[in-house]
């Protein structure tokens, strides 16, 4: 029987999604940035299975563990599983960081033929289920993206009460689960986060894509950290970098950005023309999957507060299962259009709502949208008054607790 870590904090949002598929002939795939807790979700699923049947046959392969280093091809993966599976009952197979196995999708497709196997895997690359792989496994897998801890999970992991001080810790250090073992001080937490960032860049970008221009890659990440939430095209980024004596073609910028997206370091958010009902081909916003990593490499600066809370709102919408775009309405911008189950939510994010000019801009933009889906303005400061012409104002803590 596999030895599971003790006192694992539950993340029920993910476990509840997977429970209906346990035992079904589908591959269950967890994707997400390294260190967001995918392995511990596998442990929670294993425990759930063992609670139902303490003698359940379990195979667990962790590609970050040297004892499994020889399993590096599809054939070796299949041979290992078929050799070790139970001969009398269903075997539950868990493969951690499966992208490190060459042609792994061929093994998965083959192993699906065995009705006595139940397959689970994790990967740290958004391209894990590329169009080619998805075509080969069409209708035979489900994918669940695992994100950094939400604010409420952060409070739970760190045993904190909801307060403005706790919110500041969350916005500064982000939601990597392992931080619960460390003191939340800059010199400790940021050192850990920098090391995680370096590991992701080295293993999931530089090594995976044979990136040679690592200096440009580092400068690109810093540029995106400085311009979190700003609209940029690859050409604009290229032009800016040329002004800094860094010559790089726009198409190469696009390639490097996609590498960062695939490694879950950043999210690329397209713009949506509300009137024309189409996605713009150029000009996106970029947000960091983990605010702690952003702040560790760029700094937690008071002048960045508006960028940081906008990033936090975007991350929370993803955590809650929304598909998110940036809205364009003529000369007006809507920070986020969040869509789920054919319902939409329009959101503006502001640092404060103290000035009349800010109130008119943020609420005015939302008033211009020609439909009746809910619209809210989120700000860092609290507001308990009436809505503004039917549009609600919500403070960030309230929103993140919802």
Q: Which CATH number covers residue 34?
A: 3.40.50.300
Residue range 234-247: average pLDDT? Answer: 85
- On whether both 133 and 225 belong to a single domain, the answer is no
- On whether both 74 and 195 belong to a single domain, the answer is no
Residue 263 in any domain: the answer is no
Question: Of 99, 129, 145, at which residue does a domain stop?
Answer: 145
- What's the burial of 251, exposed, middle or buried (CB within 10 Å: 0-12/13-18/19+)? exposed
What residues make up the domain containing 122? 12-145
- On whether both 206 and 318 belong to a single domain, the answer is yes
- What's the burial of 76, exposed, middle or buried (CB within 10 Å: 0-12/13-18/19+)? middle
- On whether both 68 and 185 belong to a single domain, the answer is no
Residue 264: its pLDDT value, please? 97
- On whether both 124 and 168 belong to a single domain, the answer is no
Residue 381: its pLDDT value, please? 87
pLDDT score of 344 more than 80: yes
Residue 3 in any domain: the answer is no
- On whether both 177 and 305 belong to a single domain, the answer is yes
Residue range 267-273: average pLDDT? Answer: 95
- On whether both 313 and 200 belong to a single domain, the answer is yes
- On whether both 175 and 318 belong to a single domain, the answer is yes
Residue range 90-99: average pLDDT? Answer: 96
pLDDT score of 33 more than 60: yes
Residue 248 in any domain: the answer is no
- On whether both 119 and 223 belong to a single domain, the answer is no
Which of the two residues, 237 and 78, has the higher pLDDT score? 78
Residue 2 in any domain: the answer is no
Residue 293: its pLDDT value, please? 98
Using 50, 70 and 90 to split pLDDT, how confident is the model at 133? low
- On whether both 133 and 163 belong to a single domain, the answer is no
Lowest mean pLDDT among 48-52, 82-86, 133-137: 133-137
Query: Parallel, antiparallel, or unpaired: how do β-strands 375-379 and 231-232 relate?
Result: unpaired
pLDDT score of 29 more than 60: yes
Residue 255 in any domain: the answer is no
Residue 1: its pLDDT value, please? 57
Residue range 373-384: average pLDDT? Answer: 88
Question: Of 127, 145, 163, at which residue does a domain stop?
Answer: 145
Residue 79 in any domain: the answer is yes
Residue 294 in any domain: the answer is yes
Using 50, 70 and 90 to split pLDDT, how confident is the model at 347? very high
Residue 95: its pLDDT value, please? 97
Question: Of 115, 145, 175, at which residue does a domain stop?
Answer: 145
Lowest mean pLDDT among 132-146, 147-161, 186-200, 203-217: 132-146
Total number of domains constituting the chain: 2
Using 50, 70 and 90 to split pLDDT, how confident is the model at 139? confident
pLDDT score of 342 more than 70: yes
Residue range 279-302: average pLDDT? Answer: 95
Residue range 241-252: average pLDDT? Answer: 86
pLDDT digits (tens, 9 = 90+) for 209-226: 999 999 999 999 999 999
Q: Across the chain, what does the average pLDDT equal?
A: 93
Residue 68 in any domain: the answer is yes
Residue 132: its pLDDT value, please? 53
Using 50, 70 and 90 to split pLDDT, how confident is the model at 10? very high
């Amino acid at each position: 029987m596999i030895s599971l870590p003790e006192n694992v904090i539950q993340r029920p949002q993910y476990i509840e999604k997977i429970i209906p598929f346990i035992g079904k002939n589908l591959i269950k795939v967890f994707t997400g940035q390294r260190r967001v807790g995918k392995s511990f979700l596998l442990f929670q699923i294993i425990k759930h299975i063992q609670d139902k049947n303490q003698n359940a046959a379990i195979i667990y392969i962790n590609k970050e563990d040297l004892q499994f280093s020889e399993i590096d091809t599809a054939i070796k993966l299949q041979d290992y599983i078929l050799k070790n599976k139970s001969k009398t009952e269903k075997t539950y197979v868990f493969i951690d960081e499966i992208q490190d196995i060459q042609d792994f999708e061929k093994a998965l497709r083959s192993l699906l033929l065995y009705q006595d196997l139940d397959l689970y895997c994790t990967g740290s690359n958004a391209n894990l289920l590329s169009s080619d792989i998805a075509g080969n496994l069409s209708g035979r897998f489900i994918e669940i993206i695992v994100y950094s801890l939400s604010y409420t999970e952060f409070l739970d992991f760190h045993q904190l009460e909801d307060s403005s001080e706790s919110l500041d810790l969350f916005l500064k250090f982000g939601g990597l689960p392992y931080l619960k073992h460390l003191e939340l001080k800059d010199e400790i937490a940021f050192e850990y986060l920098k090391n995680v960032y370096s590991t992701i860049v080295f293993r999931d970008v530089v090594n995976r894509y044979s990136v040679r221009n690592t200096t440009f890659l580092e400068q690109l990440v810093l540029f995106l950290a400085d311009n979190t939430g700003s609209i940029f095209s690859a050409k604009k980024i290229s032009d800016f970098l040329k002004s800094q004596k860094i010559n790089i073609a726009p198409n190469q910028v696009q390639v490097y950005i996609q590498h960062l997206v695939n490694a879950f370091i950043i999210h690329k958010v397209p713009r949506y023309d509300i009137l024309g009902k189409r996605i713009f081909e150029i000009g996106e916003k970029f947000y960091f999957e983990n605010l702690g990593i952003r702040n560790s490499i760029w700094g937690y600066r008071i002048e960045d507060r508006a960028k940081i809370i906008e990033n936090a709102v975007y991350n929370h919408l993803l955590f809650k299962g929304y598909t998110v775009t940036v809205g364009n309405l003529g000369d007006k911008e809507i920070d986020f259009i969040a869509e789920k189950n054919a319902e939409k939510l329009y959101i503006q994010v502001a640092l404060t709502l103290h000035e009349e000019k800010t109130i008119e801009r943020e609420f005015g933009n939302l008033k211009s949208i020609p439909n009746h889906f809910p619209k809210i303005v989120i700000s860092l400061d609290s507001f308990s008054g009436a809505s503004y012409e039917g549009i609600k104002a919500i403070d960030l803590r309230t929103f993140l607790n919802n």
